[in-house]
């Protein structure tokens, strides 16, 4: 028998099949096909042809992967900045949970990196009415032409300036999915109160509880180290949470939580997270910062839930939610309204709509503690950043801060 060569394979019966125009002729053609010869011929194909097919498949897979990687990189090369104008070449690199410097600088474009490209910056200062829980007043509308949300920019005569103390990203599940960026702002005029209240709470929360040292005006180096440690780690017997609880209860510091979702977020999910934080810090048998003062708490929690009810379902990606805590702990909530798609493409932002308020100071205090104190907080990055901001304040002598930041 002559040696086999691929060119010698003749599928004559197969080639005649398409030329058959009648069913009987097609049947006869199929009967004349020799399956054994076809199979034996296929097995006789040299191995080099199979190697060529394998290398061709590998090359195709590699080319497809390269094209997919290029597409992913190009789609993320220029992310849309939803919360700020594009950074200048001199802008600092994004650094999650970086400390925020307390300063007297009043620059509209003073922005702080957040650590996520979706919401890349937070403003260093925002402005709210003196009584944030009043529905008759609204944040400034003088910033309509700016790309930053309402509540930023030069304050009007009826507004108060708030300074960013720290910020971080809220993440959920073991996949660390980003939900929103949260920043804690403190009224600039109340920064000396925060300083004094933090020093006093540090001494009163100590094991000795010596009231004679609670009037100290500054901390020495080892005390500063201890304060930072307990605020970050919690300390023994929940000392870090006790310090924040006393500061919120006693100092009368006005503050604001500014929340900007990185994805469309349902009010129900956010509300339930805050309610879990309230219950975890007020339920007997757990870390109960309220002690026996629970009378009427359930009714207040119901009112708190009602603020996020009504016709509005949530906060869109890149929109702003503000929760304020007044001098006596009263709560006020605003959310940014949606704008038409064409207006949003031009950089226009919606007005801050007042959603409601609550007088029971325990609610806002427990919500704030969910970000600041205890073993389980909503954002470790935010707590760390706030602690660094607090230490920047505490390390200055009491009485000198007001002249530096106001």
Question: Residue holding tokens 């709509």?
Answer: 353
| pLDDT at residue 45, as a whole number | 52
In eight-state DSSP terms, residue 152 is: B
3-state secondary structure of 153: coil
* Segments in 282-394 forming alpha helices (H): 297-307, 341-345, 361-372, 380-394
Checking if the pLDDT of 320 tops 60, the result is yes
136 pLDDT tier (thresholds 50, 70, 90): very low
| pLDDT at residue 337, as a whole number | 86
Find the range with the poorest average confidence among 14-18, 64-68, 340-344: 14-18
- Furthest-apart CA atoms within the chain: distance in Å: 113
The per-residue pLDDT for range 58-87, each reduced to its tens digit, is: 777 777 776 766 555 544 444 433 444 444
Residue of 238 and 47 predicted with greater confidence: 238
Checking if the pLDDT of 370 tops 90, the result is yes
What Cα–Cα distance (Å) separates residue 363 from each residue in 95, 113, 260, 324? 32, 30, 21, 12
Residue of 213 and 224 predicted with greater confidence: 224
User: What mean pLDDT, rounded, does the chain reach?
Assistant: 74
Checking if the pLDDT of 48 tops 80, the result is no
Average confidence (pLDDT) over 87-92: 37
| pLDDT at residue 166, as a whole number | 96
| pLDDT at residue 401, as a whole number | 63
Residues above pLDDT 90, as percent of the chain: 37
The crossing angle, in degrees rounded to 10, of helices 221-233 and 239-250 is: 100
3-state secondary structure of 150: strand
Checking if the pLDDT of 387 tops 80, the result is yes
The highest-confidence range among 70-84, 188-202, 233-247, by mean pLDDT, is 188-202
Residue of 206 and 8 predicted with greater confidence: 206
Checking if the pLDDT of 243 tops 80, the result is yes
11 pLDDT tier (thresholds 50, 70, 90): very low
Residue of 357 and 283 predicted with greater confidence: 357
In eight-state DSSP terms, residue 149 is: P
Checking if the pLDDT of 193 tops 70, the result is yes
Checking if the pLDDT of 206 tops 90, the result is no
| pLDDT at residue 46, as a whole number | 58
With beta carbons less than 8 A apart as the criterion, state whether 287 and 236 touch: no
pTM, full prediction: 0.69
Average confidence (pLDDT) over 22-47: 56
3-state secondary structure of 267: helix
| pLDDT at residue 104, as a whole number | 42
| pLDDT at residue 53, as a whole number | 66
3-state secondary structure of 134: coil
């Amino acid at each position: 028998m002559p040696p086999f060569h691929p060119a010698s394979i003749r599928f004559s019966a197969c080639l005649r099949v398409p030329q058959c125009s009648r069913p009987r002729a097609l049947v006869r053609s199929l009967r004349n096909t020799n399956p054994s010869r076809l199979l034996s011929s296929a097995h006789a194909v040299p191995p080099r042809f199979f190697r060529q097919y394998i290398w061709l498949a590998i090359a195709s897979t590699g080319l497809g992967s390269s094209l997919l990687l290029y597409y992913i990189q190009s789609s993320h090369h220029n992310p849309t900045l939803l919360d700020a104008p594009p950074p200048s070449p001199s802008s600092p690199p994004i650094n999650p949970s970086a400390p925020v410097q307390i300063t007297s600088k009043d620059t509209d474009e003073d922005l702080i990196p957040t650590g996520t490209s979706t919401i890349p910056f937070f403003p260093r200062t925002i402005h709210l009415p003196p009584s944030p829980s009043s529905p008759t007043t609204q944040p400034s509308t003088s910033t309509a032409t700016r790309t930053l949300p309402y509540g930023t920019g030069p304050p009007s005569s009826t507004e108060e300036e708030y300074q960013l103390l720290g910020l971080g990203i809220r993440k959920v599940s073991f996949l660390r999915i980003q939900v929103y960026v949260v920043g804690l702002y403190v009224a600039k005029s109340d920064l000396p109160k925060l300083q004094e209240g933090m020093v006093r709470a540090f001494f009163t929360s100590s094991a000795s509880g010596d009231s004679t040292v609670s009037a100290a005006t500054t901390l020495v180096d080892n005390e500063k180290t201890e304060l930072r440690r307990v605020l970050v780690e919690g300390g023994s017997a929940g000392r870090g949470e006790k310090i924040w609880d006393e500061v919120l209860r006693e100092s009368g510091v006005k503050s604001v939580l500014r929340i900007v979702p990185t994805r469309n977020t349902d009010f129900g999910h956010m509300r339930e997270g805050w309610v879990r934080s309230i219950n975890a810090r007020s339920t007997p048998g757990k870390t109960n910062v309220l002690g026996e003062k629970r009378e009427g708490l359930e009714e207040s929690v119901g009112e708190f839930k009602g603020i996020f009810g009504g016709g509005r379902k949530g906060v869109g990606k890149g929109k702003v939610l503000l929760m304020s805590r007044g001098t006596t702990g009263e709560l006020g909530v605003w959310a940014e309204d949606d704008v038409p798609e064409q207006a949003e493409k031009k950089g226009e932002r919606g007005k801050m709509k007042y959603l409601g308020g609550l007088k029971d100071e325990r609610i806002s205090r427990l919500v704030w503690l969910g970000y600041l104190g205890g073993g389980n907080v909503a954002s470790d990055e935010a707590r760390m950043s706030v602690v660094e901001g607090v230490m920047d304040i505490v390390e200055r002598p009491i009485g000198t801060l007001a002249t530096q930041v106001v």
